[in-house]
Structures are given as structure tokens and as C-alpha cells.
Amino acid sequence: MRVDKIALSGWRNYEWESVEFSGGTNVITGSNAQGKTNLLEAVYMLSAGRSFRTRFDREIVGFDFSSAELIADVYAHDRAQTIQITIRPGQAKKILVNGVRKTAGELAGTVNTVLFCPDDLNLIKEGAAVRRRLLDNAISQIRPKYAELLGEFNRLYEHKTRILKDWHEKPSLLDTLDEFSDALCRISAQLIRYRAAFTARLDEAAAPIHKEFSGEGEELKIRYQTVSTVTDPFAPAREIYYEICEHQEKHRQAELDSEQCLTGAHKDDLEIFINGRSARSFASQGQTRTAALSLKLAEREIFLDETGEYPILLLDDVLSELDDARQAFVLNRIGGGQTLITCCEDEDISRRTGGKVLFVEKGRIR
């Protein structure tokens, strides 16, 4: 699985630029604020149909441009494809795969990527939203149906939240509250089953990586946490739905009082333990970084097991945040697939990986 070539027009600070990548390691170097992460953002968008840096596509469109466009030649699942994404402020994003119109959900799975950026080093200590995003980004790529369900869940959640915020001024809004609550319970049941299954795979894949990585035989354990009334997240969706409805019924008045949605998959989290103790509460900075790296490398192994191909690995200025031992561990495990690494200084990394070096300066690549 690889991106052979990508062309950008009006994409952040790229007026017009194209670049060909090696099928192995690519080291993208240059000073800060030159466009290195912008290039990785474009590659990531091929798999997710959205940015990992902003919720608003309009921010991708460069100054003095009316639109942003990328065209990429990719090879995945034993065939070559061309992906074209066009963003125009005020209009729906246009995605074409081999000339056929697709939604962002339908794009999922065309190309797979695993992104690791400096913020991910804190995913053990940060709030639950960061860990849910890890689950959502990964599952959406290997289960396109999940991406569709997640999009519908987010739409319903926003509607219900507005009802809870505004019902005091417009009581008639409560006429539809239970309808939205029921729909959220139904979709939550399906999301929970997907997340529980992926968490089990992540737990299995990350444990041996972390044990080797820590050098001390540390035991990493990952446990899925969801709505408190759900007794078995692997049960049929109908059973989970009934249990979520029980939680919803108990918390309906609390939702009205707090003006917040209290029932649903938006409260899910991953509990991470090192040697039986909560990593979030007790782990050192070194331990949490090792655990975060283990999760990302495990995600890559799951994609390989699922598709038979390594996903494209995107390392966005993350190696500079690691000590020499952790750098070496990561670099020793990235063989077998395409990797794009951004950094400010390339000499040592390019030498250690034997990768192709691309220099970025003011939105130009050479």
C-alpha cells in the first residue's frame, strides 16, 4: 500500500506542487512552517477524507485561492487508483476515486494510514476524547460501515444537544427529544460492538510490542469502557440497545437539568494499565510515551493482519520528541511498508533509514 505521486494546488501554502514518493521510507525535512505537515495532512486525507488538524475544510484553502485540490496516484489492494479531492468554501467537498464520486465514508478503506504526531505521545494522560479518536480513526478505515454510523451518530448528537440547550425557550422541542434519544441508543449499540472488538485486537497486538519496547518486561493491558449499564459489549446489538435504553431512562431528567447528553457512545474510553496499575494515574512520562508508541505500532499490525498490506505510516515530527532508544525501536519496526517522516534535520534519520530525502521550503519540494 503506497502513495506513488501527489499533486497539490491551493493547499495551504502550496500554490502548485507535485512530488513522487519512494515505496519505502521518505524523510521530509526543512525548517519549521515550510509545509512539511501540510504534505502529511494531504496524504492522511486520502484515507480519512478529512484533516487531522482542523474540523473546517475551508482552513485548508490557501490565501488568494478559491479552492484547494489534491490528486494522488495510489496503489492498494492490488490495484492502482487515482484519488481527487477538491475543497471550495461554502460547497460540499468533492471526492473522486477513478472519476467516481464518493463520500468521505465511502473513501474509507481505499488507502489506509496510521498517523503519529507529537500530541499522540500524550494520549495516555489526556482526556477520553483523544482515545476515542484513536478508535474512530482506525476502525473507520477497516470498517467503512463504522464511518457511516459514526457520522450519523455525530449528527444526531448535535441535534439532541441543541434540543437540551434550547428547550427552556422553546418547550415544543421536547416533542422530538425521545426520538433522538432512541436513535442515539440504537447507533451507540452498533458503535460499541465495533469498538469492543477493535479494543480486544489492540490489546492483543500492543502487549508484546510494549513488553519488548520497555526492555523490562512491562505488562500492558487495554480495557474498553462504555455505558455503565452495558454488561457485555460483545453481545448482539439488540441486547446492548436495551441496556443503553435503561441508562437513558434513568438519566433523562438529569439530561434536562444539565442540558447535556449523558447517554451514548460519546462517553466511551480506553482504560490502559501497566503492570496492573492505571497508566493515566501512575505511569511516568517515559512509560506513557512507550505505551503510546506501542498502541500506534499495534494499530499498524492490525491493519496488516486485516488487509494483508502495511498501511502508510505518517510520523509527523515525532522522532525529535523521543530519546535515542525509543527512536531506534520505532525505526527498527517500520520496515515492510511506506513511511513518511517529517523532521527539521534529516542527516541522521536519512542515514539510519536509507530513506529518500525530500526538502521542503516555502511550499516547494525538491
Question: pLDDT tens for residues 245-298?
Answer: 999 999 999 999 999 999 999 999 999 999 999 999 998 888 888 888 899 999
Backbone angles phi, psi at 193, to 5 degrees: -65, -45
CA terminus-to-terminus distance, the chain: 24
| Within this chain, domains 1-112+309-366 and 119-297 share the same CATH topology | no
pTM for this predicted structure = 0.89
One-letter identity of residue 129: A
Beta strands in the chain, from DSSP E residues, in sequence order = 2-11, 14-20, 25-29, 68-76, 79-87, 94-97, 100-102, 113-116, 220-225, 269-274, 277-278, 312-316, 339-343, 356-361, 364-365
pLDDT in tens, 168-221: 999 999 999 999 999 999 999 999 999 999 999 999 999 999 998 887 778 999
**Strand runs labelled E in 12-155:** 14-20, 25-29, 68-76, 79-87, 94-97, 100-102, 113-116
Indicate the burial class of 327 (C-beta count within 10 angstroms; 0-12, 13-18, 19 or more): middle
Which CATH number describes the domain made up of 119-297? 1.20.1050.90
* pLDDT one-digit tens code per residue, 33-50: 888 999 999 999 999 888
Contact present, 11 and 69 (Cβ < 8 Å)? yes
Domain boundaries, the chain: 1-112+309-366, 119-297
Under 8 Å CB-to-CB from 168, ≥6 apart: which residues? none
Minimal CA–CA distance to 309: which of 168, 71, 160, 114? 114
CATH topology of domain 1-112+309-366: Rossmann fold (3.40.50)
Contact at 8 Å (CB) between 69 and 86? yes
